[in-house]
């Protein structure tokens, strides 16, 4: 069957070549259609329920908003975990769903459950945009030399954001910074008293005087006229001329009660960039599952349109973070390592084959197999990213073609003067086709169990498994279909081929070693036993992590300032932080975000800064530092600045950690407890133990500390004496001090809030608040301090919950230590030194540790499954247990080389290196299959056992050395790469490159000896 297939493809070689050319054209088209990403989207399916309730403290938000919504959302189908944050004026509930739950379906289930929840008036829960934690693909600032932040904010809101939202695939645009205009009336309460007008009367009057009406249609003759009542406020003048009351026929206007002005929404956040302390910035969010390259192209077109005419001449939209740059940089890294790998593969082929034509012929496999992979990726909607493309080892891709070509060259070398026929080529290639087929299938099969991963690791490595599998399938198709025909065209005519003298000498040396080994095969068993023991020892003591850090080429800071500081003071501290950071020559720009965005959907206060630090290209750094060293220097500098507690991360992974683990760090430790004070004290003790554990950095409590409050605590008994209700006091606090929006004003397409509040001097101290007056039913004016206690105290800044329980989160990043050993020591320290009531409080580890434990459980299933599947395939290929078992002995040898390389290079055993080991198993066994298949072929010819082992091993030296060398060198550049995007590649490539050294040694020296011993025993029994 195999012979007939090969004979047919060689006979119809012109047709086959034409079909492959068409296939390549379609492959190039498919590549242009592929979604290209820097990193795969590793986030779970998550949604957030966001409810704004302005002016309320965290305790009230939790009680009135968060808890009722949590109770309604409990038991949502597919829900994995639910956590919440209740802070000033805002409730955020994050729902993380199980693997396989569809986004739109889960969001519909959430909507169904929150619709029926009874919440206070004005509180309306909404869902966040359908995006991903890595969906922030474009950040920009609006910059001008003449316009202030109010004018820039107007342009942002009414021009820039609507324009960018027109791009298909944009989920939302989030604004940060600037001033949001309001039409304000700041009332003098003394004038209210003077004119005998109450605040509630003012609010009611404004609302009644700001409306349009419709009177249906009026027929006049043959025409119908629409009847409209026009009464909406259109300007400050309209607002000021509203009549509130009439005193003896004299109207009392709103403008008589206070000052009318263009004010602004009370600022909750300020953005600063470089030396500019106050800028307007925007963040473009990608709709999940959209092609970022296509969306970014649309964004770039809109930005050019805005900058070239739509915006005023002195206003420019200036990007400071563009995902395109990261994609280009990572693709450059991958392209560089792939190009170097291809070049090394071709050089090795030329050296071993001694034939440039043969090397080029084999190298054709690389582009053709890639183009076939692109076709399959496009059909199955698998995106191209750093890991999926960077994990392709072109040395492995050409292995089948090498063995096929080597068999043709050997036939040509044996009879250089005879013209080879189609049958000759078909015969020699058929002899190696079956081992090539099974060896390739074994390698592909090695990747299948990766689909059993869950969550982050599944999203990270599944595209790689698809891509490598597709490329190997394409390489197999090329080796069995295209290469034989091309080899026939190139080598059918009589010709003398180059003889590798050095390889011939190496073969003679190898032959003598094999002869010596077969004379004393026990040595081989001793070497194998020693390698097995060393492998087990290294596997136990090597450091273990979840994943290597994914370098995004930038730095993201989480900065905690002293609690309770004003936004003005926070802005000053942000300015100083930027000033000190920009002194480092490696930094290209820095943007700080103090507090929360204008939408109010961030949970931060003015005591918190998030900062983006842009870095210049690494190869331009004159200091010679690497990124890790720069972070160390920045950490030292920030430690000298009083009032700053700084944690380091990166933009995308920071968002992922926040959504998945609920904190902005690699490792989290959650302390559950209902009592705020006691839980915080226990958390501080835990923090002390973590700080004393070697390797801990950026240790802190993720939740902001308690903030100062002015509480107006009403005495119900005294209020009742004046016939006052609690609502009378709370309405005064909300309206006179808080300044709630009471209506809207339209100017063209623009819409602004109308607010009424007391002038600042009447509400800026506890004493001033206490002197505000209430109007009793009998008209008496009652100061607040007579019916309520106005006092300074503290209250929670943020209340976090998970699983319906309150908790505080300790965030920890690691520096210079692996995750497993750190957690082990930290747990021991906490157990020995921290005492607490386990019935009231609970300590739970999470973050990367949770991910690592889950991945390890899967790997404990996957690795035995991989080996079992390989055994079944080997049994199917050889038809007996002894040869299948013999080939599996290569696995420990491969493990040994990989483990030694990881330890020597200071790497850890993580999911990336584990995937490398899984791939290595298939590659290593491939050469064993080539060796044992040939030995069995010689045995079937009746040669004496010892002679056939010596002859077979020697004749397989060249193809095994070639396949192993090209496989190792194909990934060598990736194992040594240090640029952006190389982090996940490096451990995986390191394991394969160096594991192949020991695996090849096992195949060449140990396998023949054990084969000889096994067959001696088997034939003796037979």
Q: What is the pLDDT of residues 453-475, one digit of tens each?
A: 777 777 777 787 888 888 888 88
- Tally Cβ neighbours within 10 Å of residue 717: 8
> CB under 8 Å to 893, separation ≥6 — which residues?
528, 531, 924, 998, 999, 1001, 1002, 1006
Torsion on CA atoms 619, 621, 622, 626, rounded to nearest 10: -100
Instruction: Specify whether the CB–CB gap between 729 and 719 falls below 8 A.
Output: yes
d(CA 86, CA 439): 57
Instruction: Specify whether the CB–CB gap between 110 and 49 falls below 8 A.
Output: yes
d(CA 407, CA 6): 14
d(CA 854, CA 848): 10
Residue closest to 470 by CA, chosen among 597, 361, 563, 375: 375
CATH code (residue 762): 3.30.2090.10
Instruction: Specify whether the CB–CB gap between 445 and 870 falls below 8 A.
Output: yes
Is residue 82, in this structure, part of any structural domain at all? yes
Of the candidate ranges 165-174, 248-257, 706-715, 911-920, the one whose mean pLDDT is the lowest? 911-920
First to last CA, the chain: 31
DSSP per-residue string spanning 344-371: HHHHHHHHHH--HHHHHHHHTHHHHHHH
- Tally Cβ neighbours within 10 Å of residue 1020: 7
Q: Is 698 left (phi over 0), alpha (psi -120 to 50) or beta?
A: left
Q: Is 524 in the same domain as 396?
A: no
Domain end position, chosen among 493, 521, 553? 493
Higher-scoring residue by pLDDT: 910, 14: 14
pLDDT score recorded for residue 140: 92
Residue closest to 31 by CA, chosen among 640, 634, 471: 471
pLDDT band at 521 (very low <50, low <70, confident <90, very high): low
Give the pairing of strands 243-247 and 79-87: unpaired
H/E stretch holding 672: strand 667-672
CATH code (residue 414): 1.20.1640.10
Of the candidate ranges 109-123, 410-424, 429-443, 768-782, the one whose mean pLDDT is the lowest? 410-424
Is residue 516, in this structure, part of any structural domain at all? yes
Is residue 413, in this structure, part of any structural domain at all? yes
> CB under 8 Å to 172, separation ≥6 — which residues?
129, 131, 165, 285
Residue closest to 450 by CA, chosen among 67, 136, 866: 866
**Mean pLDDT in residue range 357-363:** 75
Instruction: Specify whether the CB–CB gap between 254 and 244 falls below 8 A.
Output: yes
Instruction: Specify whether the CB–CB gap between 372 and 419 falls below 8 A.
Output: no
d(CA 738, CA 111): 30
Q: Is 507 in the same domain as 487?
A: no
Per-residue tokens: 884 = 């299948």
d(CA 781, CA 773): 6
**Mean pLDDT in residue range 485-501:** 69
d(CA 206, CA 981): 59
pTM value is 0.79
The string of pLDDT tens digits covering residues 528-568 is 777 778 878 877 777 777 767 777 778 888 888 888 788 88
Is residue 1003, in this structure, part of any structural domain at all? yes
Over 70: is that where the pLDDT of 1021 sits? Answer: no
pLDDT band at 600 (very low <50, low <70, confident <90, very high): low
Q: How would you class 111 by CB atoms within 10 Å of its CB: exposed for 0-12, middle for 13-18, buried for 19 or more?
A: middle
Over 70: is that where the pLDDT of 137 sits? Answer: yes
Position of tokens 């983006």?
612
**Mean pLDDT in residue range 973-986:** 70
d(CA 18, CA 13): 9
Over 80: is that where the pLDDT of 779 sits? Answer: no
% of the chain beyond a pLDDT of 90: 2
Give pairs for 732-739: CB < 8 Å, separation 24+.
732/199, 732/772, 732/774, 732/784, 733/769, 734/55, 735/199, 735/200, 735/203, 736/187, 736/189, 736/199, 736/762, 736/763, 736/772, 737/763, 737/769, 737/772, 738/54, 738/55, 739/184, 739/266
Q: Is 453 in the same domain as 477?
A: yes
**Mean pLDDT in residue range 648-652:** 82
Per-residue tokens: 425 = 């080529």
The string of pLDDT tens digits covering residues 10-63 is 778 788 888 888 888 888 888 878 777 767 777 778 888 988 887 788 888 888
> Taking all residues of the chain, what is their mean pLDDT, rounded to a whole number?
80
> CB under 8 Å to 95, separation ≥6 — which residues?
46, 47, 48, 49, 73, 76, 79, 81, 82, 106, 110
pLDDT score recorded for residue 168: 92
Residues in the chain, how many? 1022
Is residue 769, in this structure, part of any structural domain at all? yes
User: Which of the given ranges, 353-357, 532-536, 610-614, 951-955, has the highest pLDDT on average?
Assistant: 610-614
What distance lies between CA 57 and its chain's CA centroid? Answer: 33
Q: Is 759 in the same domain as 781?
A: yes
pLDDT score recorded for residue 341: 67
Q: Is 1009 in the same domain as 885?
A: yes
DSSP per-residue string spanning 733-752: IIIIII--EEEEEEETTEEE
d(CA 53, CA 245): 32
Over 70: is that where the pLDDT of 496 sits? Answer: no
pLDDT score recorded for residue 317: 92
Is residue 151, in this structure, part of any structural domain at all? no
d(CA 362, CA 394): 11
Instruction: Specify whether the CB–CB gap between 47 and 79 falls below 8 A.
Output: no
Q: Is 734 in the same domain as 639?
A: no
Range of the structural domain that residue 889 is part of: 500-541+880-1021
Q: What is the DSSP letter of 247?
A: E
Reduce the DSSP state of residue 129 to 3 states and report it. coil
For the chain, the domain total comes to: 5
The string of pLDDT tens digits covering residues 286-310 is 888 888 888 888 999 999 999 988 8
CATH code (residue 100): 3.30.70.1430
Higher-scoring residue by pLDDT: 56, 922: 56
Q: Is 721 in the same domain as 602?
A: no
Residue closest to 552 by CA, chosen among 666, 625, 654, 457: 654
pLDDT band at 499 (very low <50, low <70, confident <90, very high): low
The string of pLDDT tens digits covering residues 864-877 is 777 787 788 778 77
DSSP per-residue string spanning 607-624: TEEEEEEEE--GGG-TT-
Domain end position, chosen among 752, 779, 796? 796
Residue closest to 915 by CA, chosen among 391, 163, 321, 375: 391
Domain end position, chosen among 98, 128, 158? 128
The string of pLDDT tens digits covering residues 3-12 is 777 777 777 8
Over 80: is that where the pLDDT of 207 sits? Answer: yes
Instruction: Specify whether the CB–CB gap between 895 and 539 falls below 8 A.
Output: yes
pLDDT score recorded for residue 394: 67
Q: Is 57 in the same domain as 96?
A: yes
Q: Is 68 in the same domain as 52?
A: yes
**Mean pLDDT in residue range 393-410:** 73
Q: How far lies 775's CA from each of 229, 258, 433, 1011, in Å?
A: 35, 19, 97, 102
Is residue 893, in this structure, part of any structural domain at all? yes
d(CA 297, CA 986): 31
pLDDT score recorded for residue 498: 57
Is residue 208, in this structure, part of any structural domain at all? yes
Residue closest to 88 by CA, chosen among 592, 600, 570, 598: 600
Per-residue tokens: 214 = 């419709």
Instruction: Specify whether the CB–CB gap between 557 and 580 falls below 8 A.
Output: no
% of the chain beyond a pLDDT of 70: 93
Q: Is 457 in the same domain as 404?
A: yes
DSSP tally for the chain: helices H, then strands E: 39, 30
Residue closest to 207 by CA, chosen among 738, 731, 743: 743
pLDDT score recorded for residue 69: 92
Higher-scoring residue by pLDDT: 52, 392: 52
Over 70: is that where the pLDDT of 212 sits? Answer: yes
d(CA 247, CA 811): 64
Q: Is 913 in the same domain as 993?
A: yes
Q: Is 533 in the same domain as 465?
A: no
């Amino acid at each position: 069957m195999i012979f007939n297939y090969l004979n047919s493809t060689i006979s119809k070689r012109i047709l086959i070549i034409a079909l492959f050319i068409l296939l390549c054209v379609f492959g190039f088209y498919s590549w242009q259609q592929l979604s290209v990403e820097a990193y795969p989207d590793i986030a779970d399916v998550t949604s957030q329920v966001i409810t704004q309730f302005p002016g309320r403290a965290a305790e009230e938000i939790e009680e009135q908003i968060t808890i009722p919504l949590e109770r309604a959302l409990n038991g949502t189908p597919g829900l994995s975990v639910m956590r919440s944050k209740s802070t000033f004026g805002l409730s955020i509930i994050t729902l993380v769903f199980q693997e396989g739950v569809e986004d739109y379906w889960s969001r519909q289930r959430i909507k169904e459950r929150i619709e029926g929840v009874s919440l206070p008036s004005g509180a309306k829960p909404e869902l966040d945009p359908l995006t991903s934690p890595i969906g922030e693909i474009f950040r920009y600032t609006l910059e001008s030399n003449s316009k202030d932040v109010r004018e820039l904010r107007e342009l942002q809101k009414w021009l820039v954001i609507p324009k960018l939202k027109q791009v298909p695939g944009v989920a939302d645009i989030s604004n940060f910074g600037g001033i949001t205009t309001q039409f304000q009336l700041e009332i003098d309460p003394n004038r209210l008293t003077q004119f005998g007008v109450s605040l509630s009367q003012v609010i009611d009057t404004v609302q009644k005087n700001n409306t349009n009406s419709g009177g249906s249609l009026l027929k006049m003759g043959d025409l119908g006229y629409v009847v409209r009542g026009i009464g909406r406020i259109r300007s400050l003048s309209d607002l000021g001329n509203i009549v509130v009351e009439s005193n003896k026929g004299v109207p009392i206007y709103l403008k008589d009660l206070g000052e009318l002005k263009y004010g602004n929404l009370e600022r909750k956040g300020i953005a600063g960039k470089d030396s500019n302390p106050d800028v307007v910035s925007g963040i473009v969010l990608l709709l999940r599952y959209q092609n970022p390259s296509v969306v970014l192209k649309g964004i770039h077109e809109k930005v050019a349109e805005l900058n070239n005419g739509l915006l005023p001449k002195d206003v420019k939209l200036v990007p400071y973070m563009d995902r395109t740059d990261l994609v280009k940089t990572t693709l450059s890294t991958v392209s560089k390592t792939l190009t170097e790998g291809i070049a090394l593969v071709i050089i090795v082929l030329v050296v071993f084959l001694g034939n440039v034509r043969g090397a080029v012929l084999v190298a054709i496999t690389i582009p053709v197999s890639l183009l076939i992979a692109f076709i399959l990726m496009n059909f199955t909607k698998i995106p191209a990213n750093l890991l999926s493309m960077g994990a392709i080892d072109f040395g492995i891709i050409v292995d089948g073609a090498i063995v096929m070509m080597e068999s043709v060259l050997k036939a040509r070398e044996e009879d250089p003067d005879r013209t080879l026929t189609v049958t000759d080529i078909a015969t020699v290639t058929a002899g190696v086709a079956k081992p090539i087929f099974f060896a390739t299938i074994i390698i592909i099969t090695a990747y299948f169990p990766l689909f059993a991963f869950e969550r982050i690791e599944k999203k990270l490595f599944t595209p790689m498994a698809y891509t490598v599998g597709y490329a190997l399938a394409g390489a197999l198709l090329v080796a069995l279909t295209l290469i034989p025909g091309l080899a026939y065209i190139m080598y059918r005519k009589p010709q003398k081929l180059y003889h590798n003298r050095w390889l011939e000498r190496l073969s003679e040396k190898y032959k003598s070693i094999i002869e010596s080994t077969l004379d004393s095969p026990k040595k081989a068993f001793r070497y194998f036993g020693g390698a097995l023991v060393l492998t087990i020892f290294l596997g136990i003591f090597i450091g273990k992590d979840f994943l290597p850090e994914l370098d995004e080429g930038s730095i993201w800071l989480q900065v905690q300032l002293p609690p309770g500081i004003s936004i003005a003071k926070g802005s000053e501290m942000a300015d100083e932080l930027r000033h000190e950071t920009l002194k480092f020559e490696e930094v290209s720009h820095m943007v700080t975000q103090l507090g929360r965005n204008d939408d109010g959907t961030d949970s931060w206060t003015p005591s918190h800064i998030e900062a983006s630090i842009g870095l210049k290209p690494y190869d331009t750094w004159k200091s010679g530092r690497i990124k890790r060293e720069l972070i160390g220097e920045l950490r030292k500098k920030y430690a000298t600045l009083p009032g700053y507690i700084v944690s380091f991360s990166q933009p995308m992974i920071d968002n992922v950690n926040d959504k998945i683990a609920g904190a902005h760090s690699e490792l989290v430790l959650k302390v559950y407890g209902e009592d705020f004070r006691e839980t915080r004290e226990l958390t501080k003790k835990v923090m002390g133990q973590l700080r004393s554990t070697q390797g801990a950095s950026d240790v802190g409590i993720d939740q902001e500390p308690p903030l100062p409050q002015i509480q107006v605590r009403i005495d119900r008994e005294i209020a009742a004496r004046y016939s006052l209700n609690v609502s009378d006091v709370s309405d005064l606090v909300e309206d006179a001090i808080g300044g709630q929006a009471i209506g809207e004003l339209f100017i063209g397409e623009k819409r602004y809030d109308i607010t009424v509040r007391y002038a600042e001097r009447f509400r800026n101290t506890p004493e001033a608040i206490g002197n505000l007056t209430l109007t009793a039913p009998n008209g008496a004016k009652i100061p607040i301090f007579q019916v309520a206690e106005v006092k300074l105290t503290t209250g929670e800044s943020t209340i976090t919950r998970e699983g319906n329980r309150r908790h505080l989160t300790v965030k920890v990043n690691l520096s210079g230590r692996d995750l497993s050993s750190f957690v082990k020591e930290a747990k021991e320290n906490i157990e020995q030194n921290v005492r607490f009531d386990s019935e009231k409080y609970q300590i739970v580890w999470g973050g990367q540790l949770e991910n690592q434990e889950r991945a390890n459980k899967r790997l404990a299933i996957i690795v035995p499954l991989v080996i079992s599947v390989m055994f079944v395939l080997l049994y199917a290929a050889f038809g007996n247990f002894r040869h299948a078992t013999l080939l599996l002995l290569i696995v420990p040898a491969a493990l040994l080389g990989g483990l030694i390389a990881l330890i020597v290079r200071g790497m850890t055993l993580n999911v990336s290196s584990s995937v490398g080991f899984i791939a290595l198993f298939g590659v290593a066994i491939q050469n064993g299959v080539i060796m044992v298949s040939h030995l069995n072929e010689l045995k079937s010819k009746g040669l004496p056992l010892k002679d056939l082992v010596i002859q077979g091993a020697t004749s397989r030296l060249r193809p095994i050395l070639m396949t192993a060398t090209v496989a190792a060198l194909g990934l060598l550049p990736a194992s040594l790469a240090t640029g952006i995007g190389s982090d996940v590649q490096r451990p995986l490539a390191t394991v394969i490159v160096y594991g192949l050294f020991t695996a090849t040694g096992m195949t060449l020296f140990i396998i023949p000896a054990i084969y000889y011993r096994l067959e001696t025993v088997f034939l003796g029994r037979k």
